Amino acid sequence: TVGVLDIDNLLQPTLQPPSTPFAPTKDPWSHEPHCTKSTSLATLGQKFCVYTTNTTGPHGLSLIFRPRSATEATQYLNDNPLHSFLTQKEAQRLYVRGQPWKIVDIPGKAKGVVATRRIEQYETFMLDQAAVVMDMDAENALDSAQNRRLLKRAVDQLRVPSRIRDLSAAHAGSEGSDGKEEEEEEEEEGRLEESIMKTNAFGSTVAEVSTRALYPLISRVNHACNPNSFVLFSRAGVSLAIKAYRAIEPGEEITISYLLLGLPSKQRAHLLSRWGFNCSCALCTLPADERTASDLRRTLITRNEAKILELAEAYDLDAAIALGEESVEMIKEEQNWSLLTDEYAMLAMLWLEKGDRETAEKYGKMTHRLLADLGFLGVGEERESWRLEQVLESIGGLGGKGVSWKKSPLRG
Ligand SMILES: C[S@@+](CC[C@H](N)C(=O)[O-])C[C@H]1O[C@@H](n2cnc3c(N)ncnc32)[C@H](O)[C@@H]1O
Protein backbone atom coordinates (compact mmCIF):
# COMPACT_ATOMS: atom_id res chain seq x y z
CA THR A 1 0.00 0.00 0.00
CA VAL A 2 1.08 3.53 -0.64
CA GLY A 3 1.54 6.20 1.94
CA VAL A 4 -0.43 4.76 4.82
CA LEU A 5 0.54 5.84 8.31
CA ASP A 6 1.05 2.47 9.88
CA ILE A 7 0.03 2.09 13.50
CA ASP A 8 3.01 -0.18 14.07
CA ASN A 9 5.12 2.84 13.37
CA LEU A 10 3.28 5.12 15.73
CA LEU A 11 2.92 5.37 19.43
CA GLN A 12 -0.09 3.76 20.95
CA PRO A 13 -1.20 3.25 24.51
CA THR A 14 -0.56 -0.49 24.58
CA LEU A 15 -0.10 -0.63 28.31
CA GLN A 16 -3.60 0.23 29.37
CA PRO A 17 -5.28 -2.31 31.63
CA PRO A 18 -8.49 -4.06 30.49
CA SER A 19 -11.07 -1.45 29.72
CA THR A 20 -14.32 -0.84 31.44
CA PRO A 21 -17.08 -1.67 28.94
CA PHE A 22 -18.27 1.14 26.75
CA ALA A 23 -21.92 2.04 26.89
CA PRO A 24 -23.72 0.26 24.03
CA THR A 25 -25.30 2.54 21.49
CA LYS A 26 -28.60 1.32 20.04
CA ASP A 27 -29.02 1.28 16.29
CA PRO A 28 -26.97 4.39 15.62
CA TRP A 29 -27.03 4.18 11.79
CA SER A 30 -28.42 7.22 10.00
CA HIS A 31 -28.52 5.47 6.59
CA GLU A 32 -29.61 2.04 5.40
CA PRO A 33 -26.48 -0.15 5.26
CA HIS A 34 -25.24 -0.48 1.71
CA CYS A 35 -23.56 -3.85 1.04
CA THR A 36 -21.29 -5.43 -1.55
CA LYS A 37 -20.31 -9.09 -1.83
CA SER A 38 -17.03 -10.46 -3.03
CA THR A 39 -17.17 -12.23 -6.38
CA SER A 40 -13.61 -13.50 -6.40
CA LEU A 41 -13.18 -17.24 -5.89
CA ALA A 42 -11.00 -17.12 -2.77
CA THR A 43 -13.33 -14.84 -0.80
CA LEU A 44 -16.61 -15.62 -2.55
CA GLY A 45 -19.69 -14.22 -0.83
CA GLN A 46 -17.86 -12.20 1.83
CA LYS A 47 -19.98 -9.16 2.54
CA PHE A 48 -18.87 -5.65 3.49
CA CYS A 49 -21.25 -2.74 4.00
CA VAL A 50 -21.12 0.99 4.58
CA TYR A 51 -22.60 1.91 7.97
CA THR A 52 -22.91 5.61 8.68
CA THR A 53 -23.78 7.34 11.91
CA ASN A 54 -24.16 11.05 11.60
CA THR A 55 -24.45 11.64 15.31
CA THR A 56 -20.95 10.38 16.10
CA GLY A 57 -18.12 12.87 16.54
CA PRO A 58 -17.64 16.18 14.82
CA HIS A 59 -17.68 14.74 11.30
CA GLY A 60 -20.07 11.79 11.52
CA LEU A 61 -18.59 8.33 11.00
CA SER A 62 -18.80 5.79 8.17
CA LEU A 63 -17.58 2.25 8.74
CA ILE A 64 -16.87 -0.19 5.92
CA PHE A 65 -17.29 -3.31 7.97
CA ARG A 66 -18.71 -6.83 7.90
CA PRO A 67 -22.25 -6.81 9.35
CA ARG A 68 -21.15 -8.71 12.48
CA SER A 69 -18.25 -6.31 13.15
CA ALA A 70 -20.56 -3.33 12.66
CA THR A 71 -22.93 -4.66 15.33
CA GLU A 72 -19.97 -5.18 17.68
CA ALA A 73 -18.64 -1.71 16.84
CA THR A 74 -21.73 0.06 18.15
CA GLN A 75 -20.41 -0.32 21.70
CA TYR A 76 -17.25 1.62 20.78
CA LEU A 77 -18.85 4.60 19.09
CA ASN A 78 -19.31 6.58 22.26
CA ASP A 79 -15.58 7.37 22.34
CA ASN A 80 -15.28 11.00 23.32
CA PRO A 81 -11.63 12.10 23.01
CA LEU A 82 -12.08 14.57 25.85
CA HIS A 83 -12.63 11.62 28.19
CA SER A 84 -9.99 9.36 26.66
CA PHE A 85 -7.12 11.81 26.69
CA LEU A 86 -7.79 14.60 29.20
CA THR A 87 -8.71 14.98 32.82
CA GLN A 88 -11.71 17.21 33.46
CA LYS A 89 -9.35 19.99 34.51
CA GLU A 90 -7.25 19.68 31.37
CA ALA A 91 -10.38 19.61 29.20
CA GLN A 92 -11.66 22.78 30.90
CA ARG A 93 -8.31 24.53 30.40
CA LEU A 94 -8.25 23.62 26.73
CA TYR A 95 -11.82 24.86 26.38
CA VAL A 96 -11.18 28.15 28.17
CA ARG A 97 -7.92 28.94 26.38
CA GLY A 98 -9.21 27.72 22.99
CA GLN A 99 -7.49 25.38 20.60
CA PRO A 100 -3.81 26.29 20.34
CA TRP A 101 -3.39 25.51 16.63
CA LYS A 102 -4.66 26.46 13.21
CA ILE A 103 -4.51 24.98 9.71
CA VAL A 104 -2.55 27.19 7.32
CA ASP A 105 -0.80 27.07 3.93
CA ILE A 106 2.81 25.96 4.27
CA PRO A 107 5.15 26.56 1.33
CA GLY A 108 6.07 23.27 -0.35
CA LYS A 109 3.71 21.17 1.77
CA ALA A 110 0.24 22.45 0.75
CA LYS A 111 -1.49 22.76 4.14
CA GLY A 112 -0.15 22.15 7.59
CA VAL A 113 -0.81 22.97 11.25
CA VAL A 114 0.93 25.68 13.30
CA ALA A 115 0.80 26.55 16.99
CA THR A 116 -1.10 29.74 17.85
CA ARG A 117 0.25 29.91 21.43
CA ARG A 118 2.99 28.18 23.38
CA ILE A 119 2.20 24.50 23.81
CA GLU A 120 3.78 22.90 26.85
CA GLN A 121 5.83 19.70 26.82
CA TYR A 122 3.54 16.63 26.98
CA GLU A 123 0.44 18.80 26.56
CA THR A 124 -2.40 17.03 24.73
CA PHE A 125 -3.52 19.80 22.42
CA MET A 126 -5.30 18.40 19.37
CA LEU A 127 -8.17 15.93 19.40
CA ASP A 128 -9.97 14.24 16.57
CA GLN A 129 -12.38 11.44 15.76
CA ALA A 130 -12.39 9.06 12.81
CA ALA A 131 -14.67 9.90 9.89
CA VAL A 132 -14.09 6.93 7.58
CA VAL A 133 -12.93 3.54 8.83
CA MET A 134 -12.32 0.63 6.48
CA ASP A 135 -11.77 -2.98 7.51
CA MET A 136 -8.42 -3.99 5.97
CA ASP A 137 -9.94 -7.33 4.97
CA ALA A 138 -12.24 -5.51 2.55
CA GLU A 139 -9.19 -4.46 0.55
CA ASN A 140 -8.30 -8.09 -0.10
CA ALA A 141 -11.77 -9.58 -0.32
CA LEU A 142 -13.30 -7.07 -2.74
CA ASP A 143 -11.90 -5.87 -6.04
CA SER A 144 -10.58 -2.33 -6.23
CA ALA A 145 -13.61 -0.93 -8.06
CA GLN A 146 -15.91 -2.35 -5.36
CA ASN A 147 -13.68 -0.88 -2.66
CA ARG A 148 -13.68 2.50 -4.32
CA ARG A 149 -17.47 2.52 -4.65
CA LEU A 150 -17.88 1.71 -0.95
CA LEU A 151 -15.38 4.43 -0.05
CA LYS A 152 -17.18 7.00 -2.15
CA ARG A 153 -20.49 6.14 -0.51
CA ALA A 154 -18.87 6.24 2.93
CA VAL A 155 -17.75 9.81 2.22
CA ASP A 156 -21.03 10.86 0.52
CA GLN A 157 -23.00 9.89 3.60
CA LEU A 158 -20.95 11.98 6.07
CA ARG A 159 -22.38 15.20 7.43
CA VAL A 160 -19.96 17.37 5.42
CA PRO A 161 -18.35 15.25 2.66
CA SER A 162 -16.21 18.18 1.50
CA ARG A 163 -14.22 17.99 4.74
CA ILE A 164 -12.88 14.71 3.42
CA ARG A 165 -12.78 15.59 -0.26
CA ASP A 166 -10.68 18.70 0.50
CA LEU A 167 -7.95 16.65 2.13
CA SER A 168 -4.66 16.07 0.36
CA ALA A 169 -4.56 13.34 -2.29
CA ALA A 170 -0.86 13.84 -2.94
CA HIS A 171 0.56 10.37 -2.30
CA ALA A 172 3.11 9.02 -4.79
CA GLY A 173 1.36 7.57 -7.83
CA SER A 174 -1.77 9.68 -7.47
CA GLU A 175 -1.00 11.64 -10.60
CA GLY A 176 -1.86 10.31 -14.05
CA SER A 177 -4.31 7.68 -12.73
CA ASP A 178 -2.03 4.70 -13.47
CA GLY A 179 -1.36 6.00 -16.98
CA LYS A 180 -4.88 5.13 -18.07
CA GLU A 181 -6.43 8.34 -19.24
CA GLU A 182 -10.21 8.70 -19.29
CA GLU A 183 -11.48 5.31 -18.20
CA GLU A 184 -15.18 4.65 -18.22
CA GLU A 185 -16.89 6.89 -15.72
CA GLU A 186 -17.88 4.02 -13.49
CA GLU A 187 -14.28 2.90 -13.18
CA GLU A 188 -13.30 6.37 -11.96
CA GLU A 189 -15.90 6.40 -9.20
CA GLY A 190 -14.18 6.71 -5.86
CA ARG A 191 -10.67 7.37 -7.20
CA LEU A 192 -10.38 10.66 -5.33
CA GLU A 193 -11.55 9.05 -2.08
CA GLU A 194 -9.09 6.20 -2.63
CA SER A 195 -6.21 8.65 -3.08
CA ILE A 196 -7.25 10.57 0.00
CA MET A 197 -7.23 7.37 2.03
CA LYS A 198 -3.78 6.47 0.72
CA THR A 199 -2.39 9.88 1.61
CA ASN A 200 -4.01 10.35 4.99
CA ALA A 201 -5.27 7.14 6.59
CA PHE A 202 -3.73 5.70 9.73
CA GLY A 203 -3.44 1.95 9.98
CA SER A 204 -5.13 1.35 13.33
CA THR A 205 -7.33 -0.95 15.35
CA VAL A 206 -10.83 0.47 15.56
CA ALA A 207 -13.46 -1.42 17.53
CA GLU A 208 -11.04 -4.39 17.54
CA VAL A 209 -10.91 -4.57 13.75
CA SER A 210 -7.68 -3.90 11.81
CA THR A 211 -8.52 -0.87 9.75
CA ARG A 212 -7.42 2.11 7.76
CA ALA A 213 -8.98 5.14 9.35
CA LEU A 214 -9.24 8.75 8.36
CA TYR A 215 -9.11 11.47 11.04
CA PRO A 216 -9.82 14.72 9.16
CA LEU A 217 -8.17 17.30 11.43
CA ILE A 218 -5.07 15.37 12.33
CA SER A 219 -4.61 14.50 8.64
CA ARG A 220 -3.39 18.06 8.19
CA VAL A 221 -0.29 17.49 10.30
CA ASN A 222 2.87 17.14 8.21
CA HIS A 223 5.80 14.82 8.74
CA ALA A 224 9.19 15.51 10.33
CA CYS A 225 11.78 12.85 11.17
CA ASN A 226 12.42 14.47 14.57
CA PRO A 227 8.88 15.68 15.22
CA ASN A 228 7.75 17.94 18.04
CA SER A 229 4.57 15.90 18.58
CA PHE A 230 3.15 12.40 18.40
CA VAL A 231 -0.15 10.62 17.96
CA LEU A 232 -1.97 8.68 20.65
CA PHE A 233 -4.94 6.41 19.93
CA SER A 234 -7.83 5.81 22.29
CA ARG A 235 -8.51 2.23 23.33
CA ALA A 236 -11.57 2.06 21.08
CA GLY A 237 -9.50 3.55 18.27
CA VAL A 238 -12.23 5.96 17.20
CA SER A 239 -10.49 8.91 18.87
CA LEU A 240 -7.01 10.21 18.42
CA ALA A 241 -4.95 12.91 20.12
CA ILE A 242 -1.76 14.79 19.45
CA LYS A 243 0.65 15.37 22.31
CA ALA A 244 3.80 17.48 22.38
CA TYR A 245 7.18 15.80 22.89
CA ARG A 246 8.57 19.18 23.81
CA ALA A 247 7.42 22.78 24.24
CA ILE A 248 6.29 24.33 20.95
CA GLU A 249 6.46 28.08 20.36
CA PRO A 250 3.69 30.15 18.71
CA GLY A 251 4.02 30.04 14.91
CA GLU A 252 6.01 26.79 14.96
CA GLU A 253 4.71 24.04 12.69
CA ILE A 254 3.24 21.00 14.44
CA THR A 255 4.87 17.82 13.12
CA ILE A 256 4.55 14.09 13.72
CA SER A 257 6.64 11.26 12.28
CA TYR A 258 4.91 9.08 9.69
CA LEU A 259 7.62 6.48 10.34
CA LEU A 260 9.05 4.55 13.22
CA LEU A 261 11.40 6.86 15.11
CA GLY A 262 15.09 6.13 15.00
CA LEU A 263 15.56 5.05 11.37
CA PRO A 264 18.71 6.13 9.50
CA SER A 265 18.37 8.63 6.63
CA LYS A 266 18.44 6.21 3.67
CA GLN A 267 15.68 4.06 5.10
CA ARG A 268 13.61 7.14 5.92
CA ALA A 269 13.97 8.50 2.38
CA HIS A 270 12.96 5.14 0.92
CA LEU A 271 9.86 4.80 3.10
CA LEU A 272 8.82 8.43 2.69
CA SER A 273 8.89 8.21 -1.10
CA ARG A 274 5.47 6.53 -0.81
CA TRP A 275 3.96 9.87 0.17
CA GLY A 276 5.41 11.63 -2.84
CA PHE A 277 7.63 14.22 -1.16
CA ASN A 278 11.30 14.66 -0.42
CA CYS A 279 11.74 15.29 3.24
CA SER A 280 13.40 18.60 4.00
CA CYS A 281 13.02 18.39 7.77
CA ALA A 282 15.82 19.53 10.09
CA LEU A 283 17.21 16.01 10.43
CA CYS A 284 17.20 15.22 6.70
CA THR A 285 18.91 18.51 5.83
CA LEU A 286 21.75 18.27 8.35
CA PRO A 287 25.24 18.89 6.94
CA ALA A 288 26.62 15.61 5.55
CA ASP A 289 29.01 14.92 8.44
CA GLU A 290 26.33 15.49 11.08
CA ARG A 291 23.88 13.31 9.18
CA THR A 292 26.47 10.52 9.00
CA ALA A 293 27.02 10.81 12.75
CA SER A 294 23.27 10.69 13.37
CA ASP A 295 22.89 7.64 11.10
CA LEU A 296 25.71 5.91 12.92
CA ARG A 297 24.08 6.51 16.32
CA ARG A 298 20.76 5.20 15.00
CA THR A 299 22.39 2.07 13.61
CA LEU A 300 24.24 1.51 16.89
CA ILE A 301 21.07 1.94 18.97
CA THR A 302 19.38 -0.83 16.96
CA ARG A 303 22.46 -3.05 17.08
CA ASN A 304 22.83 -2.55 20.83
CA GLU A 305 19.26 -3.73 21.37
CA ALA A 306 20.04 -7.25 20.19
CA LYS A 307 23.49 -7.23 21.78
CA ILE A 308 22.15 -6.29 25.22
CA LEU A 309 19.77 -9.26 25.17
CA GLU A 310 22.61 -11.57 24.11
CA LEU A 311 24.83 -10.30 26.92
CA ALA A 312 22.01 -10.61 29.44
CA GLU A 313 21.42 -14.19 28.32
CA ALA A 314 25.11 -14.90 28.83
CA TYR A 315 24.83 -13.23 32.25
CA ASP A 316 27.43 -10.61 31.37
CA LEU A 317 25.45 -7.98 33.25
CA ASP A 318 28.18 -5.33 33.44
CA ALA A 319 28.68 -5.32 29.68
CA ALA A 320 24.90 -5.31 29.08
CA ILE A 321 24.47 -2.34 31.44
CA ALA A 322 27.34 -0.44 29.82
CA LEU A 323 25.74 -0.87 26.39
CA GLY A 324 22.30 0.08 27.73
CA GLU A 325 23.67 3.28 29.26
CA GLU A 326 25.49 4.08 26.03
CA SER A 327 22.19 3.63 24.15
CA VAL A 328 20.38 5.97 26.55
CA GLU A 329 22.86 8.74 25.74
CA MET A 330 22.55 8.13 21.99
CA ILE A 331 18.74 8.02 22.14
CA LYS A 332 18.73 11.35 23.99
CA GLU A 333 21.07 12.84 21.42
CA GLU A 334 18.77 11.62 18.64
CA GLN A 335 15.72 12.83 20.61
CA ASN A 336 13.90 9.55 20.06
CA TRP A 337 11.99 9.88 23.30
CA SER A 338 9.66 6.97 22.73
CA LEU A 339 12.62 4.55 22.57
CA LEU A 340 13.77 5.62 26.02
CA THR A 341 10.99 3.83 27.90
CA ASP A 342 12.21 0.40 26.76
CA GLU A 343 15.82 1.29 27.44
CA TYR A 344 15.07 2.43 30.99
CA ALA A 345 13.00 -0.69 31.66
CA MET A 346 15.83 -2.85 30.37
CA LEU A 347 18.31 -1.12 32.65
CA ALA A 348 15.95 -1.49 35.60
CA MET A 349 15.87 -5.22 34.94
CA LEU A 350 19.64 -5.54 34.56
CA TRP A 351 20.40 -3.60 37.76
CA LEU A 352 17.85 -5.66 39.62
CA GLU A 353 19.49 -8.80 38.35
CA LYS A 354 22.84 -7.48 39.51
CA GLY A 355 21.36 -7.05 42.97
CA ASP A 356 21.35 -3.23 43.04
CA ARG A 357 17.73 -2.58 43.90
CA GLU A 358 18.23 1.15 44.41
CA THR A 359 19.53 1.80 40.89
CA ALA A 360 16.94 -0.61 39.46
CA GLU A 361 14.20 1.42 41.14
CA LYS A 362 15.65 4.63 39.82
CA TYR A 363 15.38 3.33 36.25
CA GLY A 364 11.99 1.78 36.99
CA LYS A 365 10.67 5.13 38.15
CA MET A 366 12.09 6.82 35.06
CA THR A 367 10.24 4.28 32.87
CA HIS A 368 7.04 4.84 34.81
CA ARG A 369 7.35 8.63 34.66
CA LEU A 370 8.07 8.76 30.94
CA LEU A 371 5.25 6.33 30.07
CA ALA A 372 2.86 8.44 32.14
CA ASP A 373 4.11 11.68 30.55
CA LEU A 374 3.68 10.21 27.07
CA GLY A 375 0.09 9.30 27.94
CA PHE A 376 0.55 5.53 27.78
CA LEU A 377 -0.89 4.99 31.24
CA GLY A 378 -4.14 6.81 30.58
CA VAL A 379 -5.31 9.90 32.47
CA GLY A 380 -6.48 10.79 35.98
CA GLU A 381 -7.26 7.89 38.30
CA GLU A 382 -6.29 5.31 35.72
CA ARG A 383 -2.85 6.85 35.41
CA GLU A 384 -2.45 7.01 39.19
CA SER A 385 -3.46 3.36 39.63
CA TRP A 386 -0.45 1.95 37.79
CA ARG A 387 2.15 0.45 40.14
CA LEU A 388 5.83 0.44 39.26
CA GLU A 389 6.14 -3.37 39.25
CA GLN A 390 3.08 -3.66 37.05
CA VAL A 391 4.54 -1.19 34.57
CA LEU A 392 7.86 -3.04 34.45
CA GLU A 393 6.11 -6.34 34.02
CA SER A 394 4.00 -4.97 31.18
CA ILE A 395 6.96 -3.52 29.38
CA GLY A 396 9.52 -6.22 29.90
CA GLY A 397 8.23 -9.12 31.93
CA LEU A 398 10.60 -8.61 34.88
CA GLY A 399 9.04 -6.94 37.91
CA GLY A 400 11.55 -8.29 40.40
CA LYS A 401 11.19 -11.86 39.26
CA GLY A 402 14.88 -12.50 38.59
CA VAL A 403 15.70 -14.26 35.35
CA SER A 404 12.23 -13.94 33.94
CA TRP A 405 13.51 -12.20 30.80
CA LYS A 406 14.81 -15.60 29.69
CA LYS A 407 11.21 -16.76 29.43
CA SER A 408 9.79 -13.58 27.98
CA PRO A 409 12.30 -11.46 26.08
CA LEU A 410 12.17 -7.82 27.05
CA ARG A 411 11.43 -6.45 23.62
CA GLY A 412 9.64 -9.38 22.12
C1 LIG B 1 -1.31 13.48 5.80
S2 LIG B 1 -1.05 14.71 4.58
C3 LIG B 1 -0.51 16.08 5.52
C4 LIG B 1 -1.28 17.35 5.21
C5 LIG B 1 -1.12 17.89 3.82
N6 LIG B 1 0.08 18.69 3.69
C7 LIG B 1 -2.33 18.72 3.37
O8 LIG B 1 -2.15 19.71 2.68
O9 LIG B 1 -3.44 18.33 3.70
C10 LIG B 1 0.37 14.01 3.85
C11 LIG B 1 0.87 14.77 2.63
O12 LIG B 1 1.37 16.04 3.03
C13 LIG B 1 2.59 16.34 2.36
N14 LIG B 1 3.68 16.37 3.36
C15 LIG B 1 3.66 15.86 4.61
N16 LIG B 1 4.80 16.10 5.26
C17 LIG B 1 5.58 16.78 4.39
C18 LIG B 1 6.91 17.30 4.47
N19 LIG B 1 7.66 17.17 5.56
N20 LIG B 1 7.40 17.94 3.38
C21 LIG B 1 6.67 18.09 2.24
N22 LIG B 1 5.41 17.60 2.11
C23 LIG B 1 4.87 16.96 3.17
C24 LIG B 1 2.81 15.24 1.34
O25 LIG B 1 2.21 15.64 0.14
C26 LIG B 1 2.03 14.08 1.94
O27 LIG B 1 1.62 13.15 0.96
- Residue 188 CA to ligand 1 centre (angstroms): 24
Query: Residue 279 above 60 pLDDT?
Result: yes
Chain-centroid distance of CA 412 in Å reads: 20
Residues 295 and 203 in one domain: no
Over residues 309-338, mean pLDDT = 93
Residues 173 and 68 in one domain: yes
Query: Residue 400 above 50 pLDDT?
Result: no
Query: Residue 409 above 50 pLDDT?
Result: no
pLDDT of the residue at 394 = 67
Q: What percent of the chain has pLDDT over 90?
A: 61
* Residue 290: partners with Cβ closer than 8 Å, 6 or more residues away: none
What does the alpha-carbon distance between residue 233 and residue 206 come to, in Å, rounded to a whole number? 9
ipTM entry: 1.00
Q: In this structure, is residue 93 part of a structural domain?
A: yes
Q: At residue 203, what is the residue type?
A: G
Element of type H or E holding 320: helix 317-334
Residues 211 and 307 in one domain: no
Q: In this structure, is residue 2 part of a structural domain?
A: no
Strand partners, 135: 211
Residues 297 and 157 in one domain: no
Residues with C-beta less than 6 Å from any ligand 1 atom: 3, 108-112, 167-168, 170-171, 199-200, 219-220, 222-224, 275-277, 279, 281
- Residue 170 CA to ligand 1 centre (angstroms): 8
- Residue 222 CA to ligand 1 centre (angstroms): 5
Tens digits of per-residue pLDDT, 18-52? 444 445 556 789 999 999 999 888 888 999 999 99
- Residue 220 CA to ligand 1 centre (angstroms): 7
Q: Closest by alpha carbon to 112, among 228, 22, 26?
A: 228
Residues 204 and 319 in one domain: no
* Cβ atoms of 69 and 209 closer than 8 Å: yes
- 253 phi/psi in degrees, rounded to 5: -75, 140
Structural domain harbouring 15: 7-97+126-223
Please report, for residues 23, 102, 143, 244, the alpha-carbon distance to residue 201 in angstroms, rounded to integers and kept in the order given.
Answer: 27, 20, 19, 21
Q: In this structure, is residue 117 part of a structural domain?
A: no
pLDDT of the residue at 383 = 83
- Which atom of ligand 1 lies at the shortest distance from residue 3's CA? 27
Sorting pLDDT into bands at 50, 70 and 90, what band is 352? confident
Q: In this structure, is residue 245 part of a structural domain?
A: no
Identify the residue whose C-alpha is closest to ligand 1 atom 21.
109
Tens digits of per-residue pLDDT, 94-111? 888 889 999 999 999 999
- Residue 292 CA to ligand 1 centre (angstroms): 26
Chain-centroid distance of CA 161 in Å reads: 24
- Give me the CATH number covering residue 386: 1.25.40
